[in-house]
Amino acid sequence: MRYSECYAVTSHDVDVNNNMKPSLILRYMQETANHQMRDRKPSYYELFFSGKSFILTRVTIEIYEQLHQYDQIQVDTWRCPEKGATFIRCFEILRDGKTAARAYTVWAVTNHETGKLCKANEVDISNYETEEPLTLELPTRFRLAKDLSFTKAGVKEVFYSDVDMNRHMNNTNYPDMLWNFIPDVIEKQVTSVNLRFMKEAPLGAEVEVYCAKMDEPLEQDTAAEETWCFYSLVNGEVNVEAQIGMRSL
């Protein structure tokens, strides 16, 4: 069983080519998850004020159809059976009944008073709609190839408007932050996003972004014409690693 919400894509959600920005795809997904938490309990706020927070560790998004302003979309989400201290949640975005994007996400729950991870039996989310996880074409685990020649693309300062209740840059900001550094991005569209979060970027931190283009696009992303790889540093430590698939308009 899935939890569903319907939305109209706004004019502020799209780029100059009228395609939904990659961060907005993730935001609509996570907004739906928050609605499920609000309606089924415990809500995000109830968990937070009880000392627990969901932290995204990995996300894999496959984009099959570009979404445009004023499109009417349905976003489905569901909890998947937990494994130890690993919480899996999946998503699907539909337009006119046809799948436009899907995602597989992996979360941890931290006790923000002790800093320790919570096991599944310490977080009762049994009221959430539950199904088995999606099987995507993209690998939900990846490693950046060691032979890639990364160059420094730029630096992003974490401003107050970037952070969430945990006081670090919200995970939905990362796809757009990295996408901005892809050369000639105005002539391209996104086919996939794969992110691995390793260290938080707190308010006031500087995020150094490094990028490299793979010689050939990622094999499993059959729609991509090129794959861009990224890693970022915060205080000299790896903050996030990513692969973003792109194709020409």
Give the C-alpha separation, 142 to 151, whole Å.
Answer: 20
pTM of the entire structure?
Answer: 0.97
What is the DSSP-derived secondary structure letter of residue 163? B
Confidence at residue 52, expressed as pLDDT on a 0 to 100 scale: 94
Summarize pLDDT for 88-110 with one digit per residue, the tens.
999 999 999 999 999 999 999 99
Asked if 175 and 193 count as a contact pair (C-beta separation under 8 A), the reply is yes
Confidence at residue 160, expressed as pLDDT on a 0 to 100 scale: 98
Structure tokens belonging to residue 28: 């609509």
Residue 15: which region, alpha, beta or left (left: phi > 0; alpha: psi -120 to 50)? Answer: beta
CA-CA-CA-CA torsion sign (136, 20, 165, 76): negative
Confidence at residue 112, expressed as pLDDT on a 0 to 100 scale: 83
Summarize pLDDT for 234-246 with one digit per residue, the tens.
999 999 999 999 9
Whole-number mean pLDDT of the chain? 97
Confidence at residue 113, expressed as pLDDT on a 0 to 100 scale: 82
